[in-house]
Structure 1
């Protein structure tokens, strides 16, 4: 579980669920704020209380706060804090879209969190940070630290198409692709500690730099109906006496097909995606050349294979396919409801998804396609104050999970 399990509840009063809340860590849980810089909002300061209950935290309460124009007109400062009855806590602070020059932007974010009752497929008893061979979950407390500094360079942007973007009810009036290409360099620090109920603790850490080339032609990032989004990312950790040196790359391509309007839906979209990850520096017979479990090629959690827990599958290589039907109903009553009508909340959305994925100890497409794991489910998305809050229910042949998070999965 991570900050995304809580941040997505913005503006919502959550109820208890008997499903285990599992959310995979995300490098930038408030990416929606930086991406939405060109979307005008009636409020430059937003404070939203959050109350919820989940199996891993019990009753939890907190606040998310956002303020635009801190230091520069287009910047966004985001803070989040929450505390639960079982002494779980989370603290997040992010500062986005600071202009270093006409084309360079910088983001800074930091997270400190501890979750007391979490479920993982890491085996602390043997000290081996890999999926338990028995396939049984491990109950443990979980400490997470994440720090990122992102330098983003705009290589190209379709200013003409962007200037024509006009919204009505939170959706484009005349959708058209808006192409942009960006390059990112991101120093990162990520640390994890799993404290098992029995056995030794498991520690993990990675410190390095990532580089990302991103191509985006979506017509509207909160809920695209056409275009595509593709990226190639390379992580490098030079290692130390306490951690392995490694290089990992990942690539993902997502395509969006407009299914048109219907008598009950304002927008219908079929979203398709494919993802591949590999660690070319991996040495199967030398664990010292393998990064810690959370820095490997992983599947499971709120982004890929949502019917499985966080990092349920981790190895050298990972392959993933996803398909999702999304629809925004004509019925949008939230602006007439007390409390919700205080916020910019133009639409909510339903989704149905199906997924396939697999991990292997070598990069071989034949092996990755053999015996793929499946996941399916449904969910809801809420576009509130320029952020997409997402609630997904995923199931598989192992378990059923309820995820709270932010942003579309792809």
Structure 2
């Protein structure tokens, strides 16, 4: 079936006891086992039943099956946060003494994982411009075990050619490609179809869509997912709560219509801002001016609801704009039905130094917009009035 039908019906089990139309919630930490022999068997074969919710839970399992279906994967794994998914996926494919390659524009906490945590375990790294597959190829070493790509990238929306990078990765035995596809969601992009080994999402964002949970997912081959679950998830304990999994599944029922509206609104907002006198630059892959526009057009089914904007006047102007918006809420995170605005240098990317940020076009006068599903005219009016107030105040300050 097509994706709007799949997000509603794929892998949903009917309640065998009462026939509940909505999937039941199994909010339990443990399961009563019928006898000693079955307890031994299930503890040795955790994918054949349920023993303890840290290993598996019926509600979480249904979400995992749905994610696997939408990502065209053999299996998936739900975790307590997006970063829990990222760290579990990464740790399950690398060892001390190995080398990783990752993009120069990625989420700030992922950057901290790669540059501050993993080096403590003797993992070395190279930071490259991943939209350039030749740069990825040039960074390869004999001990490279992982290429990590975020596309679209947070916050400047760089787009990396997944298929081209997968080809580079798989020329060398043992190298895995992990793609963070949070900004796209499975509705707009399927990295596994393009050669990635694992795809990760912060399910907090578009998959849930309503800002009510913190969660993450990993999808890939059963072999890789089994390894991520046991022993990594078993030992790290980044376990997804059943109620959070249940909420995500309710949110996913509207993923298709939400993503279509996010994309439609974002394009209108981007076109408006690109021509605004108070804006220096708009980072949105749907614009022909975006350097990765053609790659996005090739591998995505839409350009998403995320963009960043360089505002003239730097941090002083940003402060005024963010304090003046009325429809856009000043909040971190993204992918909600309602629109959000944040200052990436001091919020999502505070782990990077100013020099590191500026090197990859994360400037002090930059805001990131998560464009929601409100009426586009209201979003445009809100941004216009906020930017106009900055312009008017700037003239007053100059005259004084």
TM-score category, normalised to shorter length: under 0.3
Higher relative contact order (CA 8 A, sep 6+): 2
Higher-Rg structure is 2
TM-score (norm 2): 0.26
Which structure shows the higher helix fraction? 2
Which structure shows the higher strand fraction? 1
